[in-house]
A and B are shown apart, each in its own frame.
Chain A
């Protein structure tokens, strides 16, 4: 029995054990290694992906739970909010070792879609991923920068 789902817009029928966490399906079966393994207990957020647009920690999520759903990974997040976040990450020179940043970018993109102009408190609440390099201050700056950029774009569309 195979499990149908879409990953970054592409349809897949995956022949894997239904209890396999989405993380390992992405990394070992599909070959998308941008999503990272950090803790295996959904505590660090390195494995964050979007399932039907919502940020989910994929290391504990069985593949059977996402049957028929839309999964977006770091490799496929580059539309609109995602691209703005990625640009802001470069502009603020956020990553150091970079290992947690896929998860951070997925969490931040989901935050901006929900709250286009988040406050510092909202960022604190939404961004609970762990970064051992301590890039949090730059992540905060980058989220504000991306939010500003997206709002400017919206303003241009409205007034243009």
Chain B
């Protein structure tokens, strides 16, 4: 077993000299250089978060990518609150990526410690990961970390700018600052009621230095944070004017379609463009190591042409469902890394004759964003411009620099709205293809679009996971020994091999066990151990990552334990939670709002699941019926404690979204491999939940005052076990794999 100590040394090495550094740490830079924001005539940037024009319109720099989660609005709310400006005067603008915008909190989450653990080792490790993040400048969007990371710097940006405007206003009015205040975009002299607008003061304010101590508002003064603000990006999304990556139209744009190996990893052996070269609209047919790309005046012409190219691909090592299963079976027999080992669970279990055992699995899944992967690139001798919805712009910049041979400073990543991402839009395969196409027609912008088939089959999949539980209960029916053995590959390692190809990344990865470790349930002895298996193809982050399968495993197995004790499943969970804990509060409200235990319509049953992920706790009760051997989910009641809801309506929307996304996976989702190929290729055989499959969803938000939790992912994990636990009540059959069967 690899020791935790050894892992910590790895973590520390990544972050720098651990002990010395921790002692000397200073807080992150909050305001940033105003020059990071490009300004037009009449606009003034007061720091790296905002600029103001002469009319007083404020543009907030939205440094995280919008994939539907409402982050643009959430970020703008933080600035609007502290700056004291009317919501109608708030706009957003996407800045060019810069290290200043690094997602520091997103990196800290990688430290393998319980969120509640604030001991020296835990904090040191978090510090190490933060330093690593700052060093790397990873301004990725993911890990449900957008608001958590932005909470301090964006409020600081707003508050510091307000302070500068206040001082500039007092000077203009010729009165002491102490006699002035601000009111919705104006500096006001209280006694005389004389006013100056922010728009008129911005230039003067920019010449003042920012305050030493940021004068934040008191919580009791909040007018924006905590209110259900209308999303800034929605009006453009109902009239067709919103620009996604696939909609950018730089002057002279041409289009590209691609054909790659039907088998994953197959390199191109040869190709014959034949008459495809002479088809209407075709500009060029080119080859990369593993694909053929047709460039034409329109996408349809490119697509038709690439379909006519005769290709021969090398035969990579064949793998299929069975050979992959064998890798996992072997992994389950090998010693793993103990992410958690409290007490003597394994020794005690070896001596017990009353062990309850169960083996669970979950399949591979594709992201299947509605907007197929695409990327637009323009390369000249002087620079490279890339337009793409992407979750990691600096990574894209560095990879594009490597691919073009240009300096990083000459590569410009223009992040666009994303038609969904779910963890899948940081993959650079489409970027490389677009760059290859753009290099072939230098000076002309090219938009390369994957077909839906390409998008599903060449995805970096949510990997398979296997999980075995061995548990004993004491005489009172409480869990005494809990051993959870997991075989799963590291999505982080797989993604990093593509993001940072020159930096070896190894060691245990908590994203494969997230959701299996640091459970809130009281257990005297617990051991959670993972064997990292290697997959012969790319795997990736899929909405909630490890939680996406471990919630199904642990919350289904908790249900099994409850039934083994002839106990009510909700009550069984409650008995394992500390009174006064956040989880207990979520479960109690869930019981109340779902009318748990009340009489249901004939043929209906309810199932419950409770799961913490990304610092938020979510409980769900699903009311289910089995009709003609099909699972019908009628109603889902959802309770979330995310600490503090910045935009409560966005929190609710994300719960609805996470539930439907998880429901698709629970009821239909699986990617199969045969002879090195992915068997599913489009929506008819990779089914998605539709309107008719969607239950009535009720969401209740708890503002517990705990540190802010994420909301983009935490709605997804509990739905599969909640539905499965209800199905068990109806059928008496326990599903230990997904998708669910009846």
Binding site for B on A (CB under 8 A): 16-17, 20-21, 24, 27-29, 31-41, 43-44, 46, 73-75, 78, 86, 89-90, 93-102, 105, 123-125, 127-140
Contacts and interface: CB of A to CB of B under 8 A. Distances in A.
Interface stretch (B203-211, B234-242, B312-320): B234-242
19 contacts: A16-B298, A32-B240, A33-B243, A34-B239, A36-B371, A39-B683, A40-B682, A75-B240, A94-B238, A97-B371, A98-B233, A99-B371, A99-B419, A99-B420, A101-B238, A132-B422, A133-B657, A134-B659, A137-B694
Interface stretch (B6-14, B80-88, B244-252): B244-252
Contacts of B247: 33
A93 B371 contact: no
Contacts of A38: 370-372, 452
B653 A138 contact: yes
B689 interface: yes
Given A89-B234, A96-B657, 16 more contacts: A34-B240, A37-B299, A38-B372, A43-B682, A89-B238, A90-B235, A95-B234, A97-B371, A123-B691, A130-B370, A131-B660, A133-B68, A134-B656, A134-B657, A134-B689, A137-B696
Nearest to A143: B691
In the A-B complex, list the 7 residue pairs whose CB atoms are closest, starting with the nearest: A34-B240, A134-B660, A99-B419, A97-B68, A98-B237, A96-B68, A74-B240
B444 to A, nearest CB: 15
B537 interface: no
Most buried by B among A27, A73, A105, A139: A27
A90 B451 CA distance: 31
A31 B418 CA distance: 20
B231 A93 contact: yes
A32 B697 CA distance: 35
Contact of A130 (B297, B301, B688): B688
A131 B656 CA distance: 12
Contacts of A93: 230-231, 234, 649, 653
A26 to B, nearest CB: 10
Contacts of A39: 452, 682-683
A106 B153 CA distance: 41
Nearest to B297: A28
Contact of B660 (A33, A75, A136): A136
B684 A43 contact: yes
Given A44-B683, A127-B691, A136-B694, A97 B239 contact: no
Contacts of B658: 134
Main secondary structure of the interface of A (DSSP, over half): loop
A155 to B, nearest CB: 25
A36 B255 contact: no
A66 to B, nearest CB: 15
A133 B238 contact: no
A95 B238 contact: yes
B249 A33 contact: yes
A37 B420 contact: no
B70 A96 contact: yes
Candidate in A89, A137, A140 with the most chain B CB atoms within 10 angstroms: A137
Contacts of B242: 98
B46 to A, nearest CB: 30
Contacts of B239: 34, 74-75, 78, 86
Contact of B418 (A20, A74, A97, A124): A97
A29 B238 CA distance: 22
B729 interface: no
B240 A35 contact: yes
B662 to A, nearest CB: 9
B387 interface: no
B246 A36 contact: yes
Scoring B233, B239, B246 by chain A CB atoms within 10 A of each residue's CB, the highest score goes to B239
Nearest to B692: A124
B69 interface: yes
A29 B280 CA distance: 14
A32 B241 CA distance: 9
A123 B692 CA distance: 8
B93 to A, nearest CB: 18
Contacts of B683: 39, 41, 43-44, 130
A28 B661 CA distance: 31
Contact of B240 (A37, A102, A135): A102
A30 to B, nearest CB: 11
Contacts of B369: 97, 99, 132
Nearest to A130: B688
Interface string B32-60: 00000000000000000000000000000
Contacts of A74: 239-240
A36 B299 CA distance: 13
Contacts of B649: 93
B697 A137 contact: yes
A113 B417 CA distance: 31
A85 to B, nearest CB: 8
Contact of B237 (A21, A43, A95): A95
A35 B419 CA distance: 13
